[in-house]
Structure 1
Amino acid sequence: MLCTTVTDTGQITLPEEIRQHLKLVSGSRVEFVIDEDGQVKIFPLNVAIEDLSGVLYRPSIQAASLEDMEAAIFEGANDWA
């Protein structure tokens, strides 16, 4: 497990292994999220758009038509009522 120390001003230095894993460089931005279990997660915000290409592609998923999407939205919205 990697550890670091919080300074008086609330700053930390991310260990090099973490910076390399997240591909962080000087000036990189990160986002902190507290999940439903109370765990804190860190996400890099410096991902190039090219790196996202195909991230949602799943061979088994069939493309949805606009009508399918609108029906799903309508159905989901009715769940709130």
Structure 2
Amino acid sequence: MFAKISKKGQVTLPAEVRKLLNLHPGARVRFVVEKNAARILPVEGGIETLKGAVKVSAPQDFKAARHKAMEERSREKSARTRC
């Protein structure tokens, strides 16, 4: 199977690959680079899928944590553009 890279660096995955990896429009993939090759792996869900992966002493509010992280990132970006 072959694919051509566009001017923007985009590649259309062949239908056979999409079917094999069960990829649908909007699906996310990650690239793992190993020496002179790259593997494409499907990404299962977002940060919410990590819920329960780490033991904590009290319930966690992921929406609040995400909001706080986004605010901090916004402040950092704003501070860099002011310099």
Output the TM-score relative to the length of structure 2.
0.51
**Could you list the runs of 4 or more consecutive aligned residues of structure 1 that deviate by over 2 angstroms after TM superposition?**
none
Structure 2 unaligned runs (5+)?
50-83
Greater RCO, 1 or 2 (C-alpha within 8 Å, sep 6+): 1
How many percent of aligned residue pairs carry the same amino acid?
35
Residue-pair matches, total: 46
Post-superposition Cα deviations, 1:28-78, rounded to whole Å, max 9, x if no partner, equal 000001124x2211100037x7xxxxxxxxxxxxxxxxxxxxxxxxxxxxx
Question: Which structure has more strand as a fraction of its residues?
Answer: 2
- Mapped partners of 1:33, 1:46: distance in 2: 15
Question: Which structure has more helix as a fraction of its residues?
Answer: 2
Structure 1 unaligned runs (5+)?
50-81
Output the TM-score relative to the length of structure 1.
0.52
Structure-1 residue corresponding to 2:42: 44
Please, what is the CA RMSD of the aligned residues? 1.6
3-state SS of the aligned residue for 1:17? Answer: helix
- Mapped partners of 2:4, 2:37: distance in 1: 18
